[in-house]
Structure 1
């Protein structure tokens, strides 16, 4: 059977457009009927079209992708997929955005596998470190904001002026828990949290959910 050239494209959400990747694959050229595409989050790696593609790949075939991150969501996953395709299935990979990442056999009989693997290791590691740095900067920013008194989440709903009167009515058995919450226009669970805060000597209430 003649070796085939396949293409794979992916976007991370259903509202993103695949056209740019598909156009690049077709210009390579990859036949339209040999292009597989997924619209799915990188966090969910159960990509049906990608799995179909893997089942179709045979030794000697070529897989073309626009960028290396189409293979996985992090450093480890990219390497795992790269090795599965190039080593286990013995399929060549061509990354259009990175000409060095081309494992096809060259006219002089030398394959680009060694150089491609080396470049891939470096690029994937750098990408992973950058993602970790972004997460660290975000965490540091949140911690710094909290030190400055910035509050996250929903705004706090203060106790209404009628709160003390309603509490007295509740404690005196004049109204039920649900009735007290309705009089204050809050949920019963919020009413309970306010009461617990009072018992613990707190003056400030947590974020609450109005009815």
Structure 2
């Protein structure tokens, strides 16, 4: 039997592109694929703990069956885990077709050819993935250095008294003494200003110093 496996990372993503590609491949290559044999997962590819894939692997696929995927990363994202799953499927005599990477296709290959081709290609893909990760990290480092030289603030936005809105500052001036006198609770004060606990107390200390200095900007 022929099975198709489709994976998208989130429920909002559309699986139609992969489904159509698998159907078109079967049509061109005279493979009979029933609609019910297309298994879909809407889940991250970080591991293989996916309902659809586990159903496919453990209950549907039999020796001699063919599994079709559009792209290798639809099977998963972790190259080492993909290699393990791949070799397990091959050991169970399941044929695998990757539409976008025909060299990986195991149909009509000898056992030696399957092993040689998959090993070479997986090592190449692992190398390419590692190089891409290194390039991304390098670009991130360069971006950070460039931002530092330009005097840009990095990380979370800075929150202090000066960055508060005009309305928040007015609330502080209006309710600060009532809070200090115990007329309102700290929780109630925080909610009125829209601040979290740690930020609230930090800003209150800043406000106290500003008030003691008699600043006209408060």
- TM (norm. structure 1) is 0.71
Structure 2, unmatched stretches of 5+, are 27-32, 163-168, 211-218
Match of 2:16 among 19, 39, 57: 19
Q: CA RMSD in A?
A: 3.6
Structure 1, unmatched stretches of 5+, are 203-211
CA shift in 2, pair 1:66/1:191, >3 Å:
closer
* 1:87-98 pair list within 5 angstroms: 87=91, 89-98=92-101
Question: How far apart are 1:81 and its partner, in Å?
Answer: 1.6
Counterpart CA distance in 2 for 1:63 and 1:110 is: 20
CA shift in 2, pair 1:196/1:63, >3 Å:
same
Match of 1:40 among 40, 43, 64: 43
CA shift in 2, pair 1:96/1:113, >3 Å:
farther
Matched, 1:82 2:79: no
Contact 2:6-2:69 within 8 A present in 1 as well? yes
Query: Residue 128 of structure 2 corresponds to which residue in structure 1?
Result: 126
Query: Residue 66 of structure 1 corresponds to which residue in structure 2?
Result: 70
Query: Residue 203 of structure 2 corresponds to which residue in structure 1?
Result: 194
Question: Does the residue aligned with 2:161 lie in a helix, a strand or coil?
Answer: coil
Counterpart CA distance in 2 for 1:58 and 1:51 is: 13
Contact 1:60-1:90 within 8 A present in 2 as well? yes
Equivalenced residue count is: 195
Contact 1:71-1:77 within 8 A present in 2 as well? no
Counterpart CA distance in 2 for 1:38 and 1:155 is: 40
Contact 1:104-1:111 within 8 A present in 2 as well? no
Instruction: For residues 26-45 of structure 1, give each alpha carbon's deviation from its aligned partner in whole angstroms, at most 9, with x where no partner exists.
Output: 22313322221111122464
Counterpart CA distance in 1 for 2:141 and 2:79 is: 21
Counterpart CA distance in 2 for 1:140 and 1:131 is: 14
Query: Residue 166 of structure 2 corresponds to which residue in structure 1?
Result: none
Question: How far apart are 1:177 and its partner, in Å?
Answer: 4.9
Question: How far apart are 1:137 and its partner, in Å?
Answer: 2.8
- TM (norm. structure 2) is 0.69
Counterpart CA distance in 2 for 1:15 and 1:182 is: 36
Matched, 1:53 2:56: yes
Counterpart CA distance in 1 for 2:43 and 2:188 is: 47
